[in-house]
A and B are shown apart, each in its own frame.
Chain A
Amino acid sequence: MDTETLVASLSAELRRDPRDVNALVEGFVSAIRDALVDGDTVLLPGFGTFSTVKEEEKVVDDLAGGGRLLLPPAITVTFTPSTLLRRKIVDRP
Chain B
Amino acid sequence: MNDKMTFHRIADSIAAATGGTAEEAATFLRALLDKSAETLARGEKVNISGIGTFAPGETSEEAVLWAPDRSLADAVNEPFAAFEAVPLANGITEQQLSQPVAPAGLSVPAAVTELPSAEVVEASVDNLSEPSDVVVPADEVASSDAQVAETIPEPIVAEMESSPSDDSAECSGGDEALGHTEPSAVSDDAGRSIEKPVSPLMEPSESVVESVVEPSEPKVIYRNVNDGPNPWIMLLVGVVVGLCMGYFLGMNFGYLRSSISHDTVEDEIELLEEEEANVQEQINSFDASGDNMVSDEAEEIAAPVAETAETEVVPQTQKAESPKVITDTVDKKNYLTTMARKYYGNHCFWVYIYEENAAILKNPDLIRPGTVVVIPPAEKYGIDASDPESVRRATAKIAELEHRFKGKR
Contact = CB atoms under 8 A, between A and B. Distances in A.
B277 interface: no
B201 to A, nearest CB: 8
Given A33-B72, A43-B4, A92-B56, A71 B85 contact: yes
Contacts of A3: 47-49
B17 A30 contact: yes
Contacts of B45: 1
A63 interface: no
B28 A24 contact: yes
Interface in B15-33: 15, 17-18, 20, 24-25, 27-29, 31-33
B2 interface: yes
Interface string B187-219: 000000000000001000000000000000000
Given A38-B1, A85-B40, A85-B64, A70 B47 contact: no
B222 interface: no
A59 B94 CA distance: 8
With most chain B CB atoms within 10 A of its CB, the pick from A14, A24, A43, A79 is: A24
Nearest to A66: B87
B66 A79 contact: yes
A41 B76 CA distance: 12
A42 B76 CA distance: 14
Given A10-B28, A36-B72, A41-B3, A65 B13 contact: no
B32 A10 contact: yes
B83 A69 contact: no
B77 A76 contact: yes
Nearest to A42: B5
Interface string A16-45: 000011011111111111111111111111
Interface of B: 1-7, 10, 13-15, 17-18, 20, 24-25, 27-29, 31-37, 39-52, 54, 56-57, 59-60, 63-64, 66, 68, 71-73, 75-80, 83-88, 94, 97, 156, 164, 168, 201
28 contacts: A6-B32, A6-B48, A13-B31, A24-B28, A27-B14, A28-B28, A28-B29, A30-B17, A31-B5, A32-B51, A33-B71, A36-B75, A38-B3, A39-B2, A40-B2, A41-B2, A44-B33, A48-B64, A65-B164, A68-B88, A70-B86, A72-B80, A76-B73, A79-B54, A79-B64, A85-B63, A88-B41, A90-B63
Interface of A: 1-3, 6, 9-10, 13-14, 20-21, 23-48, 52, 59, 62, 65, 67-79, 81, 84-86, 88-90, 92
